[in-house]
Structures are given as structure tokens and as C-alpha cells.
Amino acid sequence: MSPSNRLTIRRPDDWHLHLRDGDMLATVIGDSARHFARAIVMPNLVPPVRTAKDALAYRRRIEAVIPEGSGFQPLMTLYLTEDSDPDDVTAAHRDGVAVAVKLYPAGATTNSDSGVRDLDRVRPVLEAMEKAGMPLLIHGEVTDPDIDIFDREAVFIERHLTRLMADHPGLKVVLEHCTTADAVGFVEAAGGRLGATITPHHLVINRNAIFQGGIRPHHYCLPIAKRERHRLALRRAAVSGNPAFFLGTDSAPHPIHAKEAACGCAGIYNAPTALATYAQVFAEEGALDRLEGFASLHGPAFYGLAPNAARLTLEAAPADAEPDRALADGGGLHVFTPPGGLSWRVAEAG
């Protein structure tokens, strides 16, 4: 097999992952542990993971179901609220319980009702995090009902992120799951002060995919997929080699019945196919030599961690669609496959 059809890289990490809890956690953990060494775990449970005590308890529940011998490491986050205690937050970071804090604007996405409505009310926490070197991870959307859903990211950057970055020049920030050319340009202009994750699905679908031939609920996520020009901007950013951009799947499982409903849930479950999707995108863009940076090096560098020593091999090979996962209650979990299928797969995971 030619070098262009096979690639070995350091084992990647997932810098944005939803594992849920209970039976769902037990169902999905193996798919992430199979390919990724570490993952930033989102805290938007019910109730949210708000405190160091909550994060420690959640980490123990995750560790209890990690497949034996995988070595997978969950990196915990705290859910920022207007009542968060700066001392508890920074102590969680100091003690190795939580690596970052997640900011959800209230109502922006799944289980975000306890999120932040007024950024001024969390400034004491942000100031403490800035001093402690603790990153802030942002779901960057406004939730005003008068703002078009396709414009929410761009408006958040204009109204809030610009000011936040100016007011807290020492705060490490990640703009998560970028979906627009506006976000790409803002991150590039930040000159390394700002990191950004890009999902596999936003690289391969645009907003048309949600409506092709009818409503496609398994292509619905938040932030919602945007116009084609934004998808192309994301692809250019991902393969650019710019260390500000790194892998974050935003894999977000919901039972099929909750997706295929009158008011369906937002979220795409891509953990089993994410790495193959990224490899396919990088191959299509003629940038396979930059995949290791995006998947395995840029994220650890931003978080001040060493890259993984283990290796993982991908190869060009037609791959069948991943079957739906069976849930303990008899339901199912649909696995995302790019439109047109996959032409890459994970061959070996060391």
C-alpha cells in the first residue's frame, strides 16, 4: 500500500466529547476509548457537573466502565454557572480534578438551561481562572430569539467573545465546534491566544444535508451546520497546519427515538467514525501529512500536555456504515456516516 493510502500517527485525543451517564455512558465509552487516548468530557449532565466534588464523582463513574486495558483517560470539566465559586473552580484545577471550565450560554444546546445569562456575573470566576492558567471552553452562540439560528455564532463573536478576550488577556480560551468562516477568521487573527476545535461532521455536511429528501434528524446538531462557504472555510482551517485548530468530535449521543421525534434532540454521534472521517477529509484536501498535527499534537500543546507515545494507523479502504448501537432499554443509537460513505478506516490502534 502506497504512503498516500496508509498513515501512522501518534494516538489522537478528543478535545470535545459527550459521554452522558448511566446506561448511555456504558454503551458509548468503548467507541471513544478504542481510538482516543484522552478526551475532554463535557459537563452538561442532569444535574450539571458544577463543582470539584461533582467532577470527581463523574470521573469515577466513567473509569468504572472504561474497557479493561484501553488506558483511556477522561479529562474533566466544570459547568460554569452564575453561582460558581472561584475558589472551588481553581482548586479543582490545582488538584487535577478538572482541566477546564465550560461556558454554555443558557439555552444554547442540550442541558444548557443552567448556563450563563450575563457574562458580567461570572467575571470573578474568569479572573480566578486567568490567574490559575485554567482554560475556558466556550459554546459560542447567542440565544436571543430574534437572532437567526444560522447567525448565532457570528453574533456571539461580535457581541461577547471580542470583549471577553479584551477584558481577560491572560485567559486561555477555546472556541469549541467552530462552524463559520467568521469563527475561523477570528481565531486566525487572535495569533495563538485562542484555540478552536472542529468536528468531523461540520467538515462534511452543510445545512442542505439536514433537508435533503426530507428532514434528516441525524444531521441536526448545535451549532447547526451552515452554508457551503462556511464548510469550506472549516476544511481550509483544519488542514492548514495552524496549531490553533485541533480535533474535537463533539460526539453527542441521543437515542434514535429522541432524534426522530416531533421535537428532536440536537447532537450527532460520531465517535466510531470520527477518525476515519477526518482522514478522508485530509486525504481529499491533499494534506495527510498535517493530520497528525491536527489530531495528535495541537491539542496537547494548547493544554500543556505531552503528546501520546502510542501510535495509530489509518488506511484508505472502503468501509461499511457502522451499525447502530443497541441500548440497554431496547432502543438504538445511530452512528454518523458522511454522505457518500467512508473511504478510510482505522487499521491498527496501539
Q: What pLDDT score was predicted for residue 319?
A: 80
Q: Which residues does 263 contact at the CB level (< 8 Å), separation at least 6? A: none
Helices (H), 114-260: 123-132, 152-156, 162-167, 181-189, 201-204, 228-238, 256-259
pLDDT digits (tens, 9 = 90+) for 239-269: 999 999 999 999 999 999 999 999 999 999 9
Write out the CATH class of domain 3-349. alpha beta
Q: How far apart are CA 345 and CA 313, in angstroms?
A: 9
Q: Taking the domains of the chain in order of start, what are their residue ranges?
A: 3-349
The model's pTM: 0.96
Which residue numbers are catalytic? Answer: 250
Q: Write a three-state SS string for 278-340.
A: HHHHHHHCCCHHHHHHHHHHHHHHHHCCCCCCCEEEEEEEEECCCCCEECCCCCEECCCCCCC
- The angle formed by the CA atoms of residues 243, 233 and 284, to the nearest 5 degrees, is 85
Classify 265 as helix, strand or coil: coil
b/e for 97-125, b at 16 or more Cβ within 10 A? Answer: bbbbbbbbbeebbbbbebbbeebeebeeb
Which residues of the chain carry a pLDDT beneath 70?
1-3, 111, 349-350
- Inter-axis angle of helices 86-94 and 52-63, to 10 degrees? 40
Q: What pLDDT score was predicted for residue 348?
A: 76
Q: Which of 144, 130, 65 is nearest to 101 (CA)?
A: 130
Q: What pLDDT score was predicted for residue 1?
A: 46
Q: How far apart are CA 40 and CA 46, in angstroms?
A: 18
